Amino acid sequence: MSRGRGGKRGRGGGGGGNRGRGGNNNRSRGGGGSSDKPNYDNRQSFDQVPKQNEKFERYYNSLDLVPAGPEREAFWAALRRELPNAFRFCGSKGNALSVRKNLTERFFPMIEQIKHNGEPVELPRSMPWYPEGLAYSMTTPKNVVRKYEPFKEFQKFLVSETGVGNISRQEQVSMIPPLLLDVQPHHTVLDLCAAPGSKSAQLVELIHAGEEERVEMALKSVQNGERQTAESGEDEEYGRSTGLLVANDVNYQRAQMLVHQVKRLNSPNLVVTNHDATMFPSIELPSTNPRQPKYLKFDRILADVPCSGDGTTRKNPNIWKDWSPQNALGLYITQVRILVRSLQMLKAGGRVVYSTCSLNPLENEAVVSSAIERCGGMQKIDIIDCSDQSPGLKRVQGRTDWSIMARSGSIYESWAEARQFEPAETSRIVPGMFPPEEGEKMPLERCIRVFPHQQDTGGFFITVLEKKSELKAKPEPESKCGSRDWVFQEPQLTGEAAIMAELAANGGKSEEEHGMGLKSLEKLSEEHHGDEKPVLDEATALIQGVAAEEVMANGKRKAEDALDADVEPKKPKVDTEVPPATHGHSTDAGAATSNSTTNGDSSTVINSDPTPNPVTSLPPPRSRRNQNDPIEESFKYLPPTHPELLSIAQFYALSPLFPTSRFLVRNPAGDPVKGIYYSSRLVRDILNANTNRGQGFKFVHAGVKMFMKQDVQGQEGVCRWRIQSEGLGILEGWVGDSRVVRLWKRGTLRRLLVEMFPKVGGEDGQEGWRGLGEIGERVSQMSMGCCVLRVLSHKAAQEAGLGGEDDKAEDGLEEGLTLPLWRSMHSLNLMLPKEERKAMLLRIFNEDVELINNTIKADFPKREGPGAAAFNERNAKAAAARLGIASETGADVEEVQAEVEAEKDMVEDEVEVDVPVSAQEDAEMGDVAEGTLT
């Protein structure tokens, strides 16, 4: 499959279909899927798309979504305007602040001077509610951006920084859900519907928040001799975050797009999976007792679910034409199932954020109400009041009353009215779609709605839920989201709540005072928990190879089917209890819970003794994959004593405290053939525990690329593994001084960025290293192989006593950075892809220049047979002149051949660096909206 920037893998990874978030066919988050029809370009400009829909407007006006009058007019006017552009600065806080400073100080003064039609243009505005002011919106029209040179330079900068992952193009309201999750560095986090990945990137950043400072302090303590024992290295994190993000998407092609988005953050704490969110399987953890497996519980879960997307008309104007009440009716049950599954996998005390880009209460408050009802009501789940969070964000409360529009366009105020007129055989309307009963006491006003006219954004809905205690989900056919005969009943108290209620009923008297004898707390607890037998969920059972007959059934439709608004729901085949992954009657993979931790991480696990019940109607498991789908990735960890790892540690003089049990390869044989990757300890434990489970857990991505094999043409004492820029930030503090080069002058850095393979050797007195400034003598003495280039800021260089007293600040650098450097036999090269070189030149030097490639363009020609010696020597001399190789006896043919092949290998590897194919499109002002297909 072609992956070139000019290839056929466009944004979304699929062909036709237009199934972006809220796109055509109203199949939000649908992903790819090629089309057999000719691909005609029938797109219209935003202004040309008609923006009227009688049902759409009548329904929301009937709800009084916004008060009648000027505000309602402003609401509809905003929905008909094109969406402003928005972007945020990514990565660590220090890096994000640095890039923002570069942008605002360099480009804003130039933009301020522009006048369009006699009026000054508006500068990009910082979002007042986003932390540290690291997100901006921009309302300048595209025709203005394209007309004026300062805007062109500004756009070029955005494209460049987006390509290397320092800026993310993301809609304003899309940034809200991760902030309300309140993620901490030790949290285990799940993003269930993660593609295209902008929210996942935010979650990764939150997990690694403050890591740079913690690592720096830990390394100083190591250097000061405060941590000396190598035995503690495998368990010690040395300031690194212990948390985890599992980013999931049901569509494999969209999961790949997700990988492109998040891998640029180089997190070893990240796993990307490919599963149906309604049936996301339990993640097993290592256990010393095979009969009592442990499963991961999450601290935080983001459920940004598939939706009709009618809050995105400003970037998907075709919604005006395609909107139908059937869209929300068809998605409701899938959304409930995803939220229920989220609550099942959540740790007690954990937090779920449920969000959509829909305005419809059927997809919002009704889903929240139905999921809470299935999970035990307000005794088990709380809706968190977040009105004091994200100050500056304009919002309104959630709805507590609403009506439903049927497929015909009829509007029903209550379930009783709908049941009277909607036929049971064909209608999808169920009691859960209407406001909760008064007795349910659900504070839905704590939900958050953001309307387009409030701060010039899209429409969005967010709810923050907290799980009070472990729960068993009610079977779907018995809940208000699945039964037309559902009637509200007060939920029975369980666990501690039941104990306290019984004590209260007895007036709090002691056993002697009560006379009849008050039961002990232990006895009450046994009575209330004794019937909670663990049930194996279907998703976990399939992975573990358990027969389908042993898993409880519920006859539910696949989530993909639920997205098809033209297909009526199937009737449940059985009315027995169902497992949690398929909307059943247990917790995650068992009911018994434990607050113990694994490997020092904060993830709560549950100990399960699966006792599945037999069923008669569950169909055999059907694979979603076809013969054209890619083979699933293999992840194999290397033992710390592997010869290749030992050679790496020796060559780079790695500290014995660096954990070496977390290196992995991605091939079934488990051999380090081309690349070696690195992950966190928890990711390692998860991959090891789940890789061989029955049909296989569908892992798509894990690990940061740490080393790549380099052809050194048999040179003795040279490590064949060079450090990759992706993993350098993790490793560089542990590399010994023998493989470290320090640079502190702007001119030297500029030459290394502009020139590829500047020569080091040459004739006496004219060697190439003499033109490499402060690093020249150091690299001339260094042996062949990879090394770490530490670029010091002017301040850091002065503090380290480097440079001279005459060195000026303007000749130094404002900030430091670390880069991988390859020392060939006769040349030097920064191991960076061309896109990153050009981005750094633009950011640091404000230059957009052509790169100079000093390598030989073609293979070195070498002949054999009669007369070949003279030919080879002549060509060797020519190549030697290019490479700076010279000696009294002339050029050595074998030496030149080795040098040419080595440099050719590195150049080819640079071409293979995976750069997101849509980086430029993402950064183009207003041309591509998040999650939509081009």
Catalytic (active-site) positions:
357
Peptide bond before residue 672 is cis, with ω within 30 degrees of 0: no
Six-digit token pair at 513?
A: 């005072």
Coil, strand or helix at 607: strand
**DSSP result, 137-176:** EE---HHHHHHSHHHHHHHHHHHHHHHTTSEEE--GGGGH
- Whether residue 674 contacts residue 247, with contact meaning beta carbons closer than 8 Å, is answered with no
CB atoms near residue 866 (< 10 Å): 6
Q: Count CB-CB contacts under 10 A for residue 143.
A: 8
Instruction: Give, in degrees to the nearest 5, the angle at Cα 928 between 927 and 933.
Output: 135
Q: What single letter denotes the amino acid at residue 292?
A: Q
Q: How many C-beta atoms surround the C-beta of residue 507 within 10 A?
A: 9
Residue 82 per-residue DSSP state = P
Phi, psi of 887 (to 5 degrees): -155, 165
- The dihedral over CA atoms of 593, 596, 600, 604, expressed in degrees to the nearest 10, equals 20
DSSP one-letter code for 307: -
Cβ atoms of 448 and 394 within 8 Å: the answer is: no
Nearest by Cα to 589 from 581, 599, 597: 581
> Cβ atoms within 10 A of the Cβ of 407, count?
16
| Residue 526, number of CB atoms within 10 A of its CB | 11
User: Sign (positive/negative) of CA torsion 770, 776, 778, 783?
Assistant: negative
- Dist. CA 850–CA 838, nearest whole Å: 8
Closest by CA position to 269, among listed 240, 295, 294: 240
Cβ contact 470:587 at 8 Å: yes
The span from the CA of 382 to the CA of 380, in Å, is: 7
Q: Which residue type is seen at 874?
A: R
Distance from first CA to last CA of the chain, Å, rounded? 20
DSSP H helices, 830-867, are 834-845
3-state secondary structure of 711: coil
